[in-house]
């Protein structure tokens, strides 16, 4: 186990190194010139050149990248070109909001997805099953910005149940969490349905029924726990999906997370922020996957970590 | 479970209560983008421009809602007869938020800080007429030889050339006065911890969420500001901000009315009176590179001017602009009211092309920034030009790429939308030098038509040497003439001047002009009022 963990951690470090390298090269070959963005339109060519030198942007790629890695070793993500603030400060200020939104989304996708899958499996082949599967199909295919705006119109503007965007209380969290979680809910309902159908066919369920247990007990005690476990193991992998979703969801709902930060930085070619957010997202995905892999054998002893 | 439900119900009730009307004297303003900085040396964005003006003061300012200069931190000023020495007497007793009095030393420090290359200020170039600028911006000197502190309340500027725009320069954000000890205390983070002498103080900044401005109780100007508190909520999509305005939670959506909702709101009887329309110091134009064939022929450029149906272009953007016939926008001093420009006349345009030996038309390229509505505008222009035989290939690219193509002279035509030009201060000279003068026709410059007319440059120099305020009218007339001469050579086809639309809640009061202030963009926070305040 320890050896496995060590190997995985080394792999994780290499993946992150790769991510920084690819992002750095992509930003390097970008035609937009950050020095010109900083200098403003009244600047002369000399001023722009001067800023380029100060930021080290006149250096060849490998030196710039080396400097960035050196900073990373000291946990220094650099300073924003335009805000002049430390990137670590900016990310730290926004990370809690993003994490909260992810937790909300996980709760939503499990609650909605698992219950839909459960009902569908129990009424397999019936109308409920069919209509639930159509709903899940829609949930998987709907673009997040459409879902977000729709929920906002109906539940915040029209019905007035929730605030119109923003951050702070529990009720602010509900609509963005549903928007971010609905895609996962669609997947999970399908997985839960087939997993449940699978379990219900097993011999031990027949045994449970045969010994005279009621249908509710069979479902709740014997079938559900076994059907849910393999699905729970997938949550770690969802973090990757969430990372791409937060950019949209945070913009629609005015949620002050790192997705908004990244989007605004991209528009302004604020490279240190783009690098920082990419790195933090990559870390989250790597950790999510690692946790998912570590949990798997706990759930299913047939899986061995090697 | 019951407890959880109760807790969430309580949370919802709290949220509902907080979404009710704002307290008297307090307003809420939203912006889509985060505020990057409130450092006057650095800030150059839509959302922080007017905020900085409310936190800091410069030597000069403008009468609210107008382009008329008034002294601000300066109590009075004197201009030497030759127009190269400006002496400002400071208003005594004005204090920074940290309690210290503003002195002439602070003025000198603040401007030198902007010019210092290490500050990386996007506004350094505005101070180019102060003696010693080249030495300091080139890193050879660490102060500006042209600024002298005569006594603690008097500061004198020596210019390397007479500059009639200098009072405007002293009103621009980059010249706003900062206290040295606070800048040194915070270093690069000063932009997040601004300390100024303005009408408001920053009392809270939660990154990515909200900024709170509270009234500066010691502000020197009697009765200013009218409001006790402004909360700026950032990260709010304009569409969502508009919904919140309708719900009474927001008083001004800072980014205006989103184009998709514009007609709907404008025709709504409940809201149409709350929309304020105002001019901007903006012109949208097509540049024609006079160094490339066939745009080196003035007749071809004039033909393009006549071929464009500007009314139709304005309709494409839902009437959020007025057609333009000259480089200057109508709100700019120097605009010539009775100039007719090139009227829309495709037949005359065709005849001109035939004159130039291009009866069969020609093929060319037009560069355009790739965000809506610019490609749609470019397509309308493309159709208009096709009607006189000019086949235009539209190159729709990211902003930086279009600016590059303009600055290195590879673009035959550019539609300026989304990039140029909004004046930094309300003076016609800002609409000439960088975009139509010889100085701008350089690699990396903004004169994308590469038009360089020495005679006009000389006239411009003469106009900018008229520093005597008594000559202001004469100077404006001269500038008007310069721009009409530009139109004779037609390096541009001016298309429209964008209008600005601000929507406000019913409780907001004060003159309409404050909501589309030409200088305190987008809204003059110091002067607006709420009607329900005591």
- Indicate if A106 and A251 belong to the same structural domain: yes
Query: Within 13 Å of residue A59, how many CA atoms lie on the same side as its CB?
Result: 12
- List of chain A residues whose C-beta atoms are within 8 Å of the C-beta of residue B442: 45
Say whether residue B359 is in contact with chain A using an 8 A CB cutoff. no
Contact A270, A19 (CB under 8 A): no
Q: Give CA–CA dist B521/A247, Å, rounded.
A: 28
Question: Containing H/E element for B90?
Answer: strand B85-90
DSSP state of B100: P
Convert the pLDDT of each residue in B391-431 to its tens digit: 999 999 988 789 889 989 999 999 999 888 888 899 999 99
Contact B235 A255 (CB under 8 A): yes
Residues A118 and A240 in one domain: yes
Q: Give residues with Cβ within 8 angstroms of A236, minimum separation 6.
A: A287, A288, A289, A290, A291, A292, A293, A295
Chain A interface includes B122 (CB < 8 A): yes
Contact of B472 with chain A, judged by CB distance below 8 Å, is answered with no
Q: Residues A116, A260: one domain?
A: yes
Cβ contacts of B236 on chain A, cutoff 8 Å: 165-166, 254
Q: Is B460 exposed, middle or buried (0-12, 13-18, 19+ CB in 10 A)?
A: buried
Chain center to CA of B482: 22
Q: Residue B315: which H helix or E strand, with range?
A: helix B310-316
Residues A111 and A184 in one domain: yes
Q: Flag if B444 and A45 touch (Cβ within 8 Å).
A: yes
> Residue B68, Cβ neighbours under 10 Å: how many?
12
- What single string gives the DSSP state of each residue in B109-175? HHHHHHHSGGG--TTGGGGTTBTTHHHHHTTS-SS-TTEEEEETTEEEEEBSS--TTHHHHTTSGGG
pLDDT at A306: 66
Asked whether the beta carbons of A15 and A282 are under 8 A apart, the reply is yes
**Cβ A43–B7 below 8 Å, yes or no?**
no
Contact A82 B442 (CB under 8 A): no
Residues A261, A264, A265, CA angle at the centre, nearest 5°?
80
Q: Which member of B11, B124, B125 has the closest CB to residue A171? A: B11
Task: Specify if A259 maps to a domain.
Answer: yes
Distance, CA of A82 to CA of A84 (rounded, Å) = 6
Cβ contact (<8 Å) for A47 and B42?
Answer: no
Q: Which residues of B touch A162 (CB under 8 A)?
A: 12, 15
Q: Kindly state whether residue A245 falls inside one of the protein's structural domains.
A: yes
Q: Do B11 and A169 touch (CB under 8 A)?
A: yes
**Helical pair B2-18 and A170-200, crossing angle rounded to 10 deg:** 150
Q: Tell me if residue B455 falls in helix, strand or coil.
A: helix
For A19, the domain range is: 2-73
**DSSP 8-state secondary structure symbol assigned to residue B95:** B
Residue A243: pLDDT band (50, 70, 90) is: confident
Host H or E run for residue B48: helix B46-55
Chain B residues lying within 8 Å of A148, measured CB to CB: none
Q: Which residues contact B180 (CB under 8 A, 6 or more apart)?
A: B105, B106, B109
Cβ of B139 within 8 Å of Cβ of A50? The answer is: yes
CATH for B282-498, options being 2.60.40.1180, 2.60.40.10, 3.10.105.10, 1.10.260.40: 3.10.105.10
* Closest chain A residue to the Cα of B14, Cα to Cα: A169
Instruction: Say what percent of chain A tops pLDDT 70.
Output: 99
Q: What is the DSSP string of B337-401?
A: TT-------HHHHHHHHHHTT-TT-EEEEEEEESSTTHHHHHHHHHHHHHTTTEEEEEEEE-HHH
Nearest-angstrom CA–CA distance, B403 and B414: 9
End-to-end CA distance of chain A: 8
**Does A305 reside within a domain?**
no
| Position A82 in a domain | no
Minimal CA separation from A235 to chain B, in Å: 24
**Residue B203, helix vs strand vs coil:** strand
Structure tokens at B494: 């001016």
- Nearest CA-CA distance, residue A132 and chain B, Å: 26
**Considering CB atoms only, which of B15, B37, B446 is closest to A41?**
B446
Q: Which residues of A touch B424 (CB under 8 A)?
A: 42
Q: State how many domains chain A has.
A: 2
For chain A, what is the largest distance between any 2 Cα atoms, rounded to a whole number of angstroms? 87
Q: What is the DSSP string of chain A?
A: -HHHHHHHHHHHHHHHHHHHHHHHHHHHH-SS-HHHHHH-TT--HHHHHHHHHHTTTTS-HHHHHHHHHHHHHTT---B-TTT-SBHHHHHHHHHHHHHHHHHHHHHHHHHHHHHHHHHHHHTTTSHHHHHHHHHHHHHHHS-HHHHHHHHIIIIIIIS--S-SS--SSHHHHHHHHHHHHHHHHHHHHHHHHHHHHHHHTSHHHHHHHHTT--HHHIIIIIIHHHHHHHHHTTHHHHHHHHHHHHHHHHHHHT--SHHHHHHHHHHTT-HHHHHHHHHHHHHHHHHHHHHHHHHHHHH-TT----
- A248 and A118 in a common domain: yes
- Could you tell me the two tokens for B302? 């004039």
- Enumerate residues 6+ apart whose C-beta is below 8 A from A222: A204, A205, A208, A213
Residue A259 has pLDDT above 50, yes or no: yes
Q: Does B244 contact A172 at a Cβ distance shorter than 8 Å?
A: no
Given CB atoms, is A32 within the 8 Å cutoff of chain B?
yes
Is A306 contained in some domain?
no
User: How many angstroms separate the CA atoms of A179 and A142, rounded?
Assistant: 10
Cα separation, A291 vs A300, in Å, equals 15
Is residue A151 within 8 A of residue A255, CB to CB? The reply is no
Count CA atoms within 13 Å of residue B46 on its CB side.
15
The verdict on a CB contact (< 8 Å) between A257 and B44 is: no
Would residue A46 count as lying in a domain?
yes
Residues of chain B with pLDDT under 50: 1-20, 534
| Stretch 135-194 of chain B: residues touching chain A, C-beta under 8 Å | 137-139, 188-189, 191-192
Is the preceding peptide bond at B522 cis, omega within 30 degrees of 0?
yes
Contact A97 B208 (CB under 8 A): yes
Return the CATH number of the domain spanning residue range B3-18+36-192. Answer: 3.90.76.10
Task: Please name every residue paired with B445 in a beta bridge, in sequence order, or none if there are none.
Answer: none
* A45·B443 Cβ contact <8 A: yes
Whole-number average pLDDT of chain A = 88
pLDDT tens digits, one per residue of A34-87: 888 788 777 777 888 888 888 888 899 999 999 999 999 998 999 998 888 999
What span, in angstroms and rounded, lies between the C-alpha atoms of B523 and B65? 9
Q: B177-213 burial by CB neighbour count: b if 16+ within 10 A, else e? A: bbbeebbeeeebbbbbebbbbbbbbbeebebbbbbbb
Q: Is residue A85 part of a domain?
A: no
Nearest of A226, A255, A233 to residue A104 by alpha carbon:
A255
Residues A32 and A173 in one domain: no
Residue A107 at interface with chain B, using a CB cutoff of 8 Å: no
Which tokens go with B431? 């609409």
Q: Is residue A39 part of a domain?
A: yes
Question: B-chain residues within 8 Å CB-CB of A93?
Answer: 206-208
CATH number of B200-278+500-530: 3.40.190.10
Residue in this structure with the two tokens 């915040």, named with its chain if needed: A156
Residues A125 and A267 in one domain: yes
CATH number at residue A270: 1.10.3720.10
Report the gap between the CA of A122 and the closest CA in chain B (Å): 25
Q: Please provide the size of chain A in residues.
A: 306
Q: Which of A22-31, A271-280, B8-17, B282-291 has the lowest mean pLDDT?
A: B8-17
B229 SS3 class: strand
Question: Mutating which of B14, B122, B395, B442 best tests the A interface, going by the most A Cβ atoms within 10 A?
Answer: B122
The contacts of residue B358 (CB under 8 Å, 6+ apart) are: B294, B300, B389
Q: For residue B511, with 0-12 CB atoms within 10 Å meaning exposed, 13-18 middle and 19 or more buried, which class applies?
A: middle
Out of A149, A168, A261, the one facing B208 most closely (by C-beta) is A261
Pairing of strands B275-279, B492-503: antiparallel
Which one of A46, A82, A248 would you mutate to disrupt binding with B, by most B Cβ within 10 Å of its Cβ?
A82
CA distance, residue A29 to nearest chain B CA (Å): 13
CB contact under 8 A, A54 and B11: no
| Predicted local distance difference test score (pLDDT) of residue B11 | 43
* Lookup: tokens for A107: 């709760």
Instruction: For residue A153, give both structure tokens.
Output: 């119109």
Q: What is the pLDDT of residue A157?
A: 87
Weakest-pLDDT range from A46-60, A173-187, A273-287: A46-60
Buried b (16+ CB within 10 A) or exposed e, B372-396: ebbbebbebbbebbeebbbebebbb
Closest approach of A294 to chain B, Cα-based (Å): 31
Q: State the nearest Cα–Cα gap between A295 and chain B, in angstroms.
A: 28
Domain definitions of chain B by residue range: 3-18+36-192, 200-278+500-530, 282-498
**Taking CB atoms and an 8 Å cutoff, what residues of chain A touch B209?**
167, 256
Question: Hey, how many other C-beta atoms are within 10 angstroms of the C-beta on B505?
Answer: 20
B509 contacts: CB under 8 Å, gap ≥ 6 = B528, B529, B530, B531
């Amino acid at each position: 186990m320890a050896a496995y963990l060590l190997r995985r951690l080394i792999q994780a470090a290499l993946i992150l190194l790769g991510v920084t390298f690819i992002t750095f090269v992509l930003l390097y070959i970008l035609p937009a010139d950050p020095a010109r963005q900083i200098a403003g339109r009244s600047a002369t060519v000399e001023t722009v050149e001067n800023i380029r030198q100060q930021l080290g942007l006149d250096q060849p790629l490998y030196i710039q990248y080396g400097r960035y890695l050196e900073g990373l070793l000291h946990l220094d993500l650099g300073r924003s070109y335009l805000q002049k603030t430390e990137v670590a400060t900016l990310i730290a200020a926004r990370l809690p909001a993003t994490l909260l939104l992810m937790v909300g989304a996980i709760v939503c996708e499990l609650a909605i997805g698992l219950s839909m899958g459960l009902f569908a499996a129990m009424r397999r082949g019936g109308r409920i099953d069919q209509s639930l599967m159509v709903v899940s199909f829609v949930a998987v295919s709907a673009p997040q910005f459409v879902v977000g705006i729709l929920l906002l119109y109906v539940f915040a503007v029209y019905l007035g149940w929730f605030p119109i965007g923003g951050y702070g209380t529990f009720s602010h969290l509900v609509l963005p969490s549903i928007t971010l979680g609905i895609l996962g809910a669609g997947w999970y309902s399908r997985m839960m349905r087939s997993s449940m159908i699978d379990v219900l066919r097993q011999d031990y369920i027949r045994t449970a029924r045969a010994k005279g247990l009621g249908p509710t007990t069979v479902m709740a005690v014997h079938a559900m726990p076994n059907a849910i476990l393999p699905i729970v193991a997938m949550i770690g992998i969802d973090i990757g999906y969430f990372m791409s979703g937060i950019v949209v969801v945070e913009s629609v709902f005015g949620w002050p997370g790192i997705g908004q930060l990244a989007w605004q930085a991209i528009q302004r070619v604020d490279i240190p922020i783009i690098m920082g957010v990419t790195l933090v997202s990559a870390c989250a995905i790597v950790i999510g996957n690692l946790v998912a892999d570590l949990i798997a054998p706990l759930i299913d002893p047939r899986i061995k970590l090697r | 479970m019951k407890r959880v439900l109760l807790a969430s119900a309580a949370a919802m009730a709290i949220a509902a209560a907080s979404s009710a009307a704002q307290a008297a004297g307090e307003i809420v303003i939203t912006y889509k983008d985060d505020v990057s900085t409130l450092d006057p040396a650095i800030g150059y964005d839509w959302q922080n421009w007017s905020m900085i003006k409310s936190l800091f003061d410069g030597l000069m300012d403008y009468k609210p809602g107008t382009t008329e200069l008034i002294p601000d931190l300066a109590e009075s000023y004197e201009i030497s007869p030759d127009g190269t020495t400006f002496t400002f007497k400071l208003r005594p007793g004005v204090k920074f938020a940290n309690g210290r009095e503003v002195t002439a030393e602070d003025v000198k420090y603040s401007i030198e800080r902007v010019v210092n290359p290490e500050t990386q200020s996007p506004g350094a170039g505005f101070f180019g007429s102060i003696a010693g600028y080249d030495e300091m911006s080139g890193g050879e000197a660490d102060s500006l030889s042209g600024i002298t502190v005569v006594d603690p309340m008097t500061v004198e500027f020596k210019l390397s050339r007479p500059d009639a725009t200098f009072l405007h320069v002293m009103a621009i954000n980059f010249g706003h006065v900062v206290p040295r000890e606070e800048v040194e205390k915070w270093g690069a983070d000063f932009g997040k911890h601004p300390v100024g002498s303005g009408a408001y103080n920053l009392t809270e900044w939660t990154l990515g969420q909200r900024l709170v401005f509270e009234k500066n109780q010691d502000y020197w100007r009697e009765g200013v500001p009218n409001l006790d508190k402004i909360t700026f909520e950032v990260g709010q999509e304009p569409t969502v901000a508009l919904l919140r305005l309708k719900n009474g939670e927001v008083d001004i959506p800072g980014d205006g009315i989103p184009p998709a909702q514009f007609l709907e709101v404008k025709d709504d009887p409940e809201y149409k009176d709350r929309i304020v329309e105002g001019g901007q110091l903006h012109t949208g134009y097509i540049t024609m590179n006079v160094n490339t064939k066939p745009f080196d022929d003035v007749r071809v450029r004039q033909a393009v001017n006549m071929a464009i149906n500007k009314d139709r272009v304005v309709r494409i953007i839902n009437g959020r602009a007025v057609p333009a016939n000259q480089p200057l926008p109508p709100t700019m001093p120097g605009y010539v009211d009775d100039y007719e420009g090139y009227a829309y006349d495709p037949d005359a345009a065709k005849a001109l092309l035939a004159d130039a030996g291009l009866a069969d038309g020609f093929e060319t390229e037009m560069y355009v920034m790739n965000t809506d509505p610019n490609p749609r505008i470019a397509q309308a222009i493309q159709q208009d030009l096709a009607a006189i035989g000019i086949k235009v290939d539209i190159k729709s690219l990211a902003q930086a790429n279009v600016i590059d193509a303009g600055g290195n002279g590879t673009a035959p035509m550019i539609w300026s939308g989304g990039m140029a030009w909004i004046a930094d201060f309300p003076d016609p000279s800002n609409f000439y030098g960088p975009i139509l003068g010889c100085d701008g026709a350089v690699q990396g410059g903004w004169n994308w038509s590469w038009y360089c007319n020495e005679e006009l440059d000389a006239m411009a120099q003469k106009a900018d040497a008229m520093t005597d305020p008594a000559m202001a009218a004469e100077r404006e007339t001269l500038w008007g003439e310069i721009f009409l001469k530009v139109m004779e050579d037609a390096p541009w086809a001016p298309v429209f001047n964008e209008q600005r639309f601000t929507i406000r809640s019913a409780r907001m009061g004060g003159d309409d002009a404050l909501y589309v202030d030409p200088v305190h963009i987008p809204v003059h926070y110091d002067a607006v009022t709420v009607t329900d305040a005591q």
